[in-house]
């Protein structure tokens, strides 16, 4: 609501509704999250893939949406183009990937000693948005 001081605390494009103070998502964020929900288990789309799908924004904008609002969708299926798991969430995402059968590329023995974790095999795991 205009003039509501609480509205200043919300992300740009969000609005406060009545007594519940539930913010509405910006239109772009809703569309990004809708695409994320479509990605089948064991498959992934990159931030750039989603931007291309929507024909709007870019990888950074999709990443920002996922950082702010992605907790309620299968966020682990939206990934960096290099297949590296989200820093700080490696254990959690790898558990999801193993449970869903997401194709991974194991690090070499030398990389593993340096603390590297498996990466998503983007070539095999990427979802093109088509059924099946």
- Residue 51 pLDDT exceeds 80: yes
Cα four-point dihedral sign 47, 49, 53, 58: positive
Instruction: Enter the pTM of the model.
Output: 0.76
At 87, is the pLDDT very low, low, confident or very high (cuts 50, 70, 90)? confident
Q: Where are the domains of the chain?
A: 27-125
**Quick one: CATH architecture of 27-125?**
Orthogonal Bundle (1.10)
**What integer is the mean pLDDT of 47-55?**
97
102-115: b (≥16 Cβ within 10 Å) or e? bbbeeeeeeeeeee
Average pLDDT in the chain: 83
Residue 43 tokens read as 């498959």
**What integer is the mean pLDDT of 25-49?**
96
Antiparallel, parallel or unpaired: β 119-120 and 78-79: unpaired
CB 11 within 8 A of CB 68: yes
pLDDT the model gives residue 103: 97
């Amino acid at each position: 609501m205009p003039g509501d001081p609480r509205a200043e605390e919300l992300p740009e494009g969000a609005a406060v509704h009545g007594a519940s103070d539930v913010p509405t998502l910006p239109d772009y964020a809703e569309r990004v999250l809708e695409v994320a929900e479509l990605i089948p288990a064991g498959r992934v789309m990159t931030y750039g893939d989603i931007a291309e799908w929507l024909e709007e924004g870019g990888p950074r904008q999709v990443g920002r949406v996922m950082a702010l609002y992605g907790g309620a969708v299968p966020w682990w299926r939206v990934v960096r183009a290099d297949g590296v798991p989200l820093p700080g969430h490696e254990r959690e995402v790898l558990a999801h990937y193993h449970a869903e059968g997401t194709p991974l590329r194991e690090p070499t023995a030398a990389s593993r000693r340096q603390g590297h974790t498996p990466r998503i095999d983007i070539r095999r795991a990427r979802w093109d948005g088509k059924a099946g």
